[in-house]
Amino acid sequence: MTLQHKRQLPFLLTSMGATLLAVATAMAAEPASRPAGAPNSAPAVDQHGLTIKDAYKNHFLIGMAGDLSGRYSDEELGLVKEHFDIVTPENCMKPAPIHPSQDAWRFERPDALVEWCADNNLAIFGHTLVWHAQTNDWFFRDGDKAAVTQRMKDHIGTLVGRYKGKIQGWDVVNEAINDGGNAETAQTENLRNSPWLRAMGPEFLTLAFKFAHEADPDAKLYYNDYGIEAGPKHASSMVLLKRLLKDGVPIHGVGIQGHWSTGRIPYVALDKAISDYASLGLEVSITELDVTIRGASGGQFGRGFRGRGFNVTPPSSEDLKAQADAYARLFSIFIKHKDVIPRVTFWGLSDRRTWRFGQHPLILDSNNQRKPAYAAIVDAVQQRRMD
């Protein structure tokens, strides 16, 4: 096995695991989340009231992530159109799937997504150009700084250029900051020891934004990460963003991913983090929102996979209520900051179509029904109007 194969193995296993799960789920006659004979503990939720995208139309766009439209049922595609304004490609535009080797591009699925969204009046936000995960080793192999820079430039120029004018913006750099940290690292950018950093130094961020801006001067360009709303990692994100802005980097926004877990959401820090980013003149989007009912938190690729349970225990009505309360509290923070938040995107479509399958993290259940969290989010904005 070559080094490259070894590096790709975790991703292969992850996608194999996800595929097996998807097949097993699709084959089950009844939703896996409700064992035969078990009482339906879910509180009744109105399935036909105001949709989330209409409820928030004067606030921000509501998004979902998915590699549309192949492999989605007509019912699921109907839900995307009914509830959402904007789509993030969940995987198909990431470096490994779209650009597996230097001379090979796989545009079939991304082109299909762009076409389907145009036909159905959905906007698109691109994800992601420069990341340490889901990126094949050819970008770095036997390359000095100049060679790797050229490969990055070609990758970004070709991809962003192809969809110029069709994609509203891009997560240009994803997850560049280390986890954890302490009082000392909080004073620094604390960059992750990624192959991009090793090959190009901290300038890799500057250049990625520059190349994306050259390829589409109208695209909104984002730095996207998880856990940057709190603690030393938040402080490091501020150090990094200030450096980029000082150097004149064309960056317009920060993406707070938002892979949280009910009962462990840093609400106060989040509220302050949004203000902090806005004070730099940046917009803020919530780019990958999901709130698990149980199981591991943390957004880094791989971690959630190992942490998620394969036993699909149905959520209790208390679980669903706690999740609804968490979502309502989050959206009340987003509403407060609506002037600087253009978009809130959920990472998936339903509790069947989520990378955290089994943890019931989204607002439509695995039967495509609105959950209590859905109703609570709509109520949060209506409540506000009555105040």
Q: Which of 116, 140, 301, 374 binds ligand XIL (CB under 6 A)?
A: 301
Instruction: Tell me if 15 contacts ligand XIL by CB under 6 A.
Output: yes
Write down the least CB distance from residue 184 to ligand XIL, Å: 27
Q: Which of 60, 196, 260, 355 binds ligand XIL (CB under 6 A)?
A: 355
Instruction: Tell me if 350 contacts ligand XIL by CB under 6 A.
Output: no
Greatest distance between any 2 Cα atoms in the chain: 63
Q: How far is CA 154 from CA 95, 102, 147, 336, in A?
A: 12, 9, 11, 40
- Sole window of 10-18, 145-153, 235-243, 373-381 interacting with ligand XIL (rule: CB under 6 A): 10-18
**Prior bond to 69 cis, omega within 30?**
yes
Six token digits for residue 358: 């089994």
Toward ligand XIL, which CB reaches closer, 133 or 186? 133
- Catalytic, 288? Answer yes
| Helices 317-336 and 372-386, packing angle to 10 deg | 40
| 8-state DSSP, 364 | B
Instruction: Tell me if 196 contacts ligand XIL by CB under 6 A.
Output: no
**CA 237 to CA 252: how far, in whole Å?**
14
Instruction: Tell me if 314 contacts ligand XIL by CB under 6 A.
Output: no
**CA 373 to CA 283: how far, in whole Å?**
26
Instruction: Tell me if 260 contacts ligand XIL by CB under 6 A.
Output: no
Write down the least CB distance from residue 92 to ligand XIL, Å: 10
- Catalytic, 90? Answer no
Instruction: Tell me if 315 contacts ligand XIL by CB under 6 A.
Output: no
- Let me know: does 134 contact 97? Beta carbons within 8 Å: yes
Q: Which of 8, 14, 168, 236 binds ligand XIL (CB under 6 A)?
A: 14
Q: Which listed residue (90, 175, 229, 283) is catalytic?
A: 175
Instruction: Tell me if 285 contacts ligand XIL by CB under 6 A.
Output: no
Instruction: Tell me if 178 contacts ligand XIL by CB under 6 A.
Output: no
Hey, which residues between 125 and 154 contact ligand XIL (CB under 6 A)?
A: none
**CA 8 to CA 5: how far, in whole Å?**
5
- Let me know: does 221 contact 251? Beta carbons within 8 Å: yes
Instruction: Tell me if 258 contacts ligand XIL by CB under 6 A.
Output: no
Toward ligand XIL, which CB reaches closer, 125 or 322? 125
Instruction: Tell me if 227 contacts ligand XIL by CB under 6 A.
Output: no
Instruction: Tell me if 185 contacts ligand XIL by CB under 6 A.
Output: no
Q: Which of 174, 237, 292, 323 binds ligand XIL (CB under 6 A)?
A: 174
The DSSP code sequence of 84-100 is -SEEE-SSTTSHHHH-S
How many residues form the binding site for ligand XIL (CB under 6 A)?
Answer: 11
Instruction: Tell me if 332 contacts ligand XIL by CB under 6 A.
Output: no
Measured from the Cβ of residue 228, the count of other Cβ atoms closer than 10 Å reads 26
Q: Which listed residue (189, 229, 283, 288) is catalytic?
A: 288
Toward ligand XIL, which CB reaches closer, 277 or 357? 357
Least Cα distance to 46 among 378, 386, 385 occurs for 378
Using alpha carbons only, give the angle 196, 201, 205 rounded to the nearest 5 degrees. Answer: 65
Q: 222 has which bridge partners?
A: 171, 253
| Helices 267-279 and 317-336, packing angle to 10 deg | 20
Q: Which of 51, 91, 188, 313 binds ligand XIL (CB under 6 A)?
A: 91
**Prior bond to 14 cis, omega within 30?**
no
Q: 225 has which bridge partners?
A: 256
Q: Which residues are catalytic?
A: 175, 288
Residues that bind ligand XIL (CB under 6 A): 14-15, 18, 90-91, 174, 257, 288, 299, 301, 355
